[in-house]
């Protein structure tokens, strides 16, 4: 079995290994692959392992040996699932590998906004505290999370973990979810989108990117949010209209936008959100703890093994 990894670098820049995979077949690893290189590199492949490389009808039609694609991640919007079904190609993903790491990033962002930790560290480096007459100083609002309402859009593994942590902080949680209220644990209230937007002090996005959820946060929905609310996006960049979000920050309707994802990655260096003092953007690192990446590789190897044994798992096609 010939196995090709098209974009291995971000998952494994050299601190982990693919040893378990090499026991299952002949493995070729590419750190990065451009779209025009896919056919050449994969023409003999039985199995493809991809992260962000797009694999669609055009590619599948020219890869007659291809029988299995496993995504190095949970999201699989880079794969044309309908085309895979037409060509008899099974597609799997790696669910739940980064749940704790992403939830941790949500609260790293939220606590940074609430306590302005980074701001005061930088102020101290510039000697601001040392110049003061009092034993303490602050020049920004500081927020206590207990008693605030967090609205969560999407209550999968990550959304549920975020809700649990929010409850531990003493926050009220409202969730936009397909689950029934009777199936939700104590401390989570099911809500319609409008009600959640109108009520929440913080809104955190954890839904998959689909045609229905693309730009779910835009001028219209932003206008329904409480003035001064905080918006967090660790899901997918296109869940929001970035121009509308930037305008909401400029007007003060949003007090902060915390994001680990953007519509274009990497973004242009002059992107307005990278310059806005109320936007806190990290470079798609929520999933990238060593622990999460190690789980991701293990899950991916398990997917390939299961396919080779005729019992594919985590199938999304």
The pair of structure tokens assigned to 14 is 């050299």
Catalytic residue among 109, 116, 206, 236: 236
Is the CB of residue 278 less than 8 Å from the CB of residue 255? yes
284 is catalytic: yes
Q: What SS3 class is residue 276? A: coil
Catalytic entry in 44, 220, 265, 309:
265
Q: Is-contact 232 205, C-beta < 8 A? A: yes
Burial class (CB in 10 A: 0-12, 13-18, 19+), 130: exposed
Residue 211 has which token pair? 């045609």
Q: Could you give the dihedral angle defined by the CA atoms of residues 203, 206, 208 and 214, in that order, rounded to the nearest 10 degrees?
A: 20
Residue 31 annotated as catalytic: no
Q: Give whole-number Cα distances, 142 to 38, 149, 287, in Å.
A: 50, 16, 28
For the chain, the first-to-last Cα distance in angstroms comes to 21
Q: How many helices (H) and strands (E) does the chain have?
A: 12, 12
Question: Could you count the other beta carbons within 10 Å of the beta carbon of residue 107?
Answer: 18
Active-site residue flag, 44: no
280 close to 112: Cβ distance less than 8 angstroms: yes
State the Cα–Cα distance between residues 15 and 17, nearest whole angstrom: 7
- Name the residues annotated as catalytic: 236, 265, 284
């Amino acid at each position: 079995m010939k196995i090709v990894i098209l974009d291995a670098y971000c998952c494994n820049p050299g601190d982990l290994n693919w040893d378990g995979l090499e026991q299952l077949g002949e493995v070729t690893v590419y750190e990065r692959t451009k779209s025009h290189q896919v056919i050449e590199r994969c023409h003999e492949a039985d199995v493809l392992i991809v992260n962000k490389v797009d694999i669609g009808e055009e590619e599948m039609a020219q890869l007659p040996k291809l029988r299995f694609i496993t995504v190095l991640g949970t999201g699989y919007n880079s794969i044309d699932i309908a085309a895979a079904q037409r060509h008899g190609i099974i597609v799997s993903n790696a669910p739940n590998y980064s749940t704790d790491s992403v939830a941790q990033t949500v609260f790293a962002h939220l606590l940074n906004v609430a306590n302005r930790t980074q701001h005061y560290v930088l102020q101290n480096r510039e000697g601001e505290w040392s110049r003061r007459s009092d034993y303490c100083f602050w020049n920004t609002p500081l927020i206590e999370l207990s008693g605030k309402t967090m609205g969560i859009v999407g209550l999968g593994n990550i959304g549920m973990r975020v809700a649990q942590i929010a409850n531990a902080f003493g926050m009220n949680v409202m969730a936009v979810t397909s689950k029934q209220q009777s199936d939700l644990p104590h401390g989570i209230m099911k809500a319609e989108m409008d009600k959640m937007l109108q009520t929440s002090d913080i809104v955190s996005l954890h839904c998959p990117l689909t045609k229905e959820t693309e730009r779910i946060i835009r001028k219209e929905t932003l206008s329904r949010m409480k003035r001064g609310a905080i918006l967090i996006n660790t899901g997918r960049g296109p869940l929001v209209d970035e121009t509308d979000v930037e305008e909401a920050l400029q007007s003060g309707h949003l007090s902060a936008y915390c994001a680990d994802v953007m519509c274009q990655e990497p973004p242009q260096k002059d992107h307005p959100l990278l310059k806005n003092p109320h936007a806190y953007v990290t470079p798609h690192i929520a999933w990238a703890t060593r622990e999460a990446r190690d789980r991701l590789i293990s899950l991916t190897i398990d997917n390939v093994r299961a396919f080779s044994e005729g019992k594919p798992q985590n199938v999304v096609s």
